[in-house]
Amino acid sequence: MASLFARARLPFKPSSQNSRVDSISASLQPCLDLAPDLSSEIIERCYRQIYFHAMSCDRDRFLESQLRSGSITVRDFIRGLLLSDRFYRGYVECNGNDRVVEQVIGRVLGRPVYGQDEVKSWSIVIAEQGFAAFVDGILESPEYFERFGIDGIPDQVNRILPGRSQGEMPIYQRLPRYGESWRDRLIRDGLMISVDAFNKISRPMTVSRLIYEKPEGRLFKLWFVFLFVLGVGSVSLVLLVFRQMFTI
């Protein structure tokens, strides 16, 4: 399996600005004890790491029961969450391949991508072999096994540099659920409005807005008719005044 992904992916240099620091918190060490009193906490931490939060309708009770019974490992549970319909609708469907790579690596490996070379490398895997092959490649990578093992819970790598009071920004703050491309597509398809359009709608309609702000679409016709009627009415009023002034 490893040789297949090695042939399929473009090479990239596994280094970043913070690669010289590789301190992993104790919570990232493999948790081999899946006792019933710990299984609930493990499941919640997995949900938080992959989904950020999980409502009752998003939970997979079948996967949870398998993990509690010991039929699957934590790594298998993570794979099930990544391949779920919830994750596909919330993160895969509404993003391009490049952003999906950033999302999955940040949530599963707990680090930012190593640059555009790594993004392009995994994007090709998604395009040629599908999202499931990309997930398998990440979960079966030496990096994942060395960092989390079979039953370790993925978490963010704690990289702290001198001169910085905080480590890496969490994936949830650095990468929102969907990017600007998906937002622009929704606006283009008429499924949502832009901030500028909302501000125009929410502002009260005044005469000055009707005169000086040129609307778009159907409102343009109403705007044109309003100005035409206003102009004709103004000219008529002026003529009427002059007529009254010079009438004997």
Q: Is the pLDDT of residue 225 over 50?
A: yes
For CA atoms 94, 97, 102, 105, the dihedral sign is: positive
pLDDT-derived band at 113 (thresholds 50, 70, 90) equals confident
User: Can you tell me the mean pLDDT for 130-157?
Assistant: 92
Residue with tokens 């993160």: 91
Task: Give the pLDDT confidence of 10-22 residue by residue, as tens digits.
Answer: 666 665 554 444 4
For the whole model, what pTM was predicted? 0.60
Integer-rounded Cα radius of gyration of the chain:
29
Q: Is the pLDDT of residue 202 over 70?
A: no
Task: Give the pLDDT confidence of 68-99 residue by residue, as tens digits.
Answer: 988 999 999 999 999 999 899 888 888 889 88
The highest-confidence range among 33-42, 44-53, 137-146, by mean pLDDT, is 137-146
Give the per-residue pLDDT at 10.
Answer: 66
Q: Is the pLDDT of residue 27 over 80?
A: no
78 burial class (0-12, 13-18, 19+ CB within 10 angstroms)?
Answer: buried
For CA atoms 40, 46, 52, 56, the dihedral sign is: negative
Output the six-digit token pair for 62.
């079948």
Give the per-residue pLDDT at 131.
Answer: 95
Q: Evaluate whether 168 touches 112 at the Cβ level (below 8 Å).
A: yes
Secondary structure element (H or E) that encloses residue 147, with its range: helix 142-148
Closest CA to 42 of 31, 53, 50, 51: 31
Long-range contacts of 4-9 (CB under 8 A, 24+ apart): 5/125, 5/133, 5/137, 5/140, 8/124, 8/125, 8/128, 8/129, 9/121, 9/122, 9/124, 9/125, 9/137
What is the distance between the alpha carbons of residues 126 and 138, in angstroms, rounded to a whole number? 12
